[in-house]
Amino acid sequence: MKILLTSTSFQDTPGAHHDLLNDQGYHVDILRGPVTESVLLPIIQEYDAVLCGDDEYTEKVLIKGKEGKLKYISKYGVGLDRIDLEAAKKLGIPVKNCPGVNQISVSEHVLALLFTFEKNIHLQNETTKQGGWARITGNEIQGKTIGIIGLGAVGKELVKKALALGMKVIGFDLFRNEAFIKDFPEMIFTENIEDIYANADVISLHIPHTPQSEKLINEDVIFNKLKNNPIIINTSRGMLIDTDAIIKGLSEGKIRGYLTDVLAIEPIDENEKLKGVENVIITPHVGSRTYQSVVRQGTMAVENLMELVNTH
């Protein structure tokens, strides 16, 4: 069995997931992802399976793989928007991902970004490193309203943590999970996203990138619907926001900050418009990259691959 491993989180973090993969006796080749279509097209037919990150598994790539040896795709992580699932299904290439393993890490990262911004930690760290003592007044988050768009595993975990920190929580989802709503009666649940735009001081995005969610946060939302000049936090996908609208919203005081772990193009492009913009914090897609989460996700990805090999 020849396997292509491209997830950099898997590669860069030591742990039991490596031992499990090595114990299978597969021949493993390593590339550092995210890998583009143009890189995959000449090589994909050589592999029986891939253990991928956010690589471009387009219809073209999958057809080329199917013409060769490709039989299985195991996705390290949750998001499947870079894999053409319809094409995979048509070609008979099963795809598995790792839901429900990174919610603690990602929800903690949301709060880490929020605390950093509200307490000006990023700014004050820089000034004190230069020998300065510029004391900027910060903000508390207790009592603020956080709107959580998407109540999947990460969104639910953030609800719990935000309530524990004394925040008011509005949770939006298209699906009504009665058991979760009952367990957390302090949360205001809504099926109308406008409730979040009208009431939230902080908006956190936890939905997949689809044609419907592309540029969800756009100029119309920022200039006509947001009422409280909120902070927007994005640990999902860079394509959920309109970059130009965010920059304009920041410059005109319609939003207070944009804190993101994801960009539309990753790794960061030299022409990335958000680079150096005031009141923007960017981290390099590390929300789920903790030793604990990587081992959980990596182990599940290998187990998924083993299951695919043994059952198909």
- Residue from 17, 109, 256, 285 carrying the catalytic annotation: 285
Task: Given the residues 82, 209, 237, 289, select the one marked as catalytic.
Answer: 237
User: Can you tell me the distance from the alpha carbon of 214 to that of 232, in angstroms, rounded to the nearest whole number?
Assistant: 16
Q: Are 255 and 232 in contact (CB under 8 A)?
A: yes
The active-site residue, picked from 266, 272, 303, 307, is: 266
Q: Could you confirm whether 266 is annotated as catalytic? A: yes
HEC states along the chain?
Answer: CEEEECCHHHHHCCCHHHHHHHCCCCEEEECCCCCCHHHHCCCHHHCCEEEECCCCECHHHHHHHHHCCCCEEEECCCCCCCECHHHHHHHCCCEECCCCCCHHHHHHHHHHHHHHHHCCHHHHHHHHHCCCCCCCCCCCCCCCEEEEECCCHHHHHHHHHHHHCCCEEEEECCCCCHHHHHHCCCCEEECCCHHHHHHCCEEEECCCCCCCCCCCECHHHHHHHCCCCCEEEECCCHHHECHHHHHHHHHCCCCCEEEECCCCCCCCCCCCCCCCCCCEEECCCCCCCCHHHHHHHHHHHHHHHHHHHHHC
**289 part of the active site:** no
Whether 296 sits among the annotated catalytic residues: the reply is no
Catalytic positions, written as ranges: 237, 266, 285
